[in-house]
C-alpha cells in the first residue's frame, strides 16, 4: 500500500486571511515503510508578507523565497508525486485547507479531506488527554530529532516515525518465499519431534489418565478404553 506523509510550512495560520504555503515536504511509504523517495519544494508566496515569528520558526524569509517559483509553477510536480495515494498528515484540515486554497486560485480540482489519514486524531484517540503535538509524540516514541528550525521535509520525516509507532511499530512482513521456507521447516520439526503414535496406550497409562479425570470437575471428554 502506497501512502504519502505530507507537511507544509505557511506564512501564518489563517488560510481565509490570505496566508500562503512557503514549503512542502513529502515522504513516500510502501506498507508503512519509507521507500527513499521524497518530494521537497520551497514556494514563493508572492506579495504575502512573512511575519517575523514565522521567519524565526522556519528560517524562511522573503529574500530567500523570492528565488523560488510560486505554487502554480510547482503544482504539477507535486500532484505527480502524490498521485491518488492516501495522505498522512498531522492536523490534516490545516494542510489540506492550504493546499485547496492554492488549487482554487488555479481553478484546479481540490483534495478531499477523506483521503487524509490524520495522525493528530489518531493520537488523541490512542492517548486521550495527553499532549498530541508532533513534538510531544516524537518524545513519547523516542523519535530522534535534530533540528534548530521547523521544516516541512524534516517534519514529514519525523511524522513517518510517529505514524509507524501509532500503527503498531516496525514489523517486517514475510515475503511469500520466506513464508514457504518457514512452513516447510515447521512441518519438518513437527514430524521429527511429534511422530504419529501407532500403538495403544499401556494399562499404566490408562490408569494414570483415569486418575487425572477423577480430579477434574465435570470433564467435557473422556477417553474410551482401548482408544489410541
Provide the 3-class DSSP secondary structure of residue 173: coil
Contact 120, 91 (CB under 8 A): yes
Please give the backbone phi and psi of residue 181, each rounded to the nearest 5 degrees, phi first. Answer: -65, -45
**CA–CA separation, 48 and 17 (whole Å):** 11
**CA–CA separation, 52 and 11 (whole Å):** 10
**CA–CA separation, 205 and 74 (whole Å):** 80
**224 DSSP 8-state letter:** P
Active-site annotation holder among 40, 90, 144, 150: 150
**CA–CA separation, 51 and 11 (whole Å):** 7
**CA–CA separation, 134 and 119 (whole Å):** 9
Please give the backbone phi and psi of residue 10, each rounded to the nearest 5 degrees, phi first. Answer: -135, 170
**CA–CA separation, 71 and 81 (whole Å):** 15
Measured on CA atoms in the order 118, 123, 129, 134, is the torsion positive or negative? negative
90 is catalytic: no
**CA–CA separation, 101 and 107 (whole Å):** 10
Catalytic amino acids? Answer: 150
Amino acid at each position: 500500500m502506497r501512502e504519502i506523509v505530507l507537511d507544509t510550512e505557511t506564512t501564518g495560520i489563517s488560510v481565509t486571511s490570505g496566508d500562503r504555503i512557503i514549503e512542502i515536504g513529502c515522504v513516500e511509504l510502501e506498507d508503512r515503510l519509507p521507500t527513499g523517495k521524497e518530494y521537497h519544494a520551497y514556494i514563493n508566496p508572492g506579495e504575502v508578507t512573512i511575519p517575523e515569528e514565522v521567519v524565526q520558526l522556519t528560517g524562511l524569509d522573503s529574500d530567500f523565497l523570492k528565488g523560488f517559483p510560486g505554487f502554480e509553477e510547482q503544482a504539477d510536480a507535486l500532484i505527480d508525486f502524490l498521485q491518488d495515494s492516501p495522505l498522512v498528515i498531522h492536523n490534516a484540515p490545516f494542510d489540506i485547507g492550504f493546499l485547496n486554497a492554492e488549487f482554487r486560485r488555479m481553478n484546479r480540482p481540490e483534495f478531499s479531506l477523506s483521503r487524509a489519514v490524520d495522525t493528530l486524531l489518531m493520537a488523541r484517540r490512542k492517548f486521550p488527554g495527553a499532549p498530541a503535538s508532533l513534538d510531544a509524540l516524537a518524545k513519547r516514541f523516542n523519535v530522534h530529532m535534530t533540528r534548530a528550525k521547523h521544516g516541512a521535509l524534516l517534519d514529514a520525516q519525523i511524522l513517518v516515525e510517529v505514524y509507524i509507532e501509532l500503527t503498531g511499530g516496525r514489523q517486517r512482513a514475510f515475503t511469500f518465499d520466506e513464508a514457504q521456507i518457514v512452513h516447510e521447516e515447521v512441518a519438518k520439526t513437527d514430524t521429527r519431534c511429534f511422530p504419529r503414535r501407532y500403538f495403544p496406550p499401556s494399562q499404566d497409562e490408562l490408569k494414570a489418565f483415569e486418575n487425572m479425570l477423577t480430579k477434574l470437575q465435570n470433564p467435557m471428554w473422556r477417553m474410551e478404553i482401548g482408544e489410541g
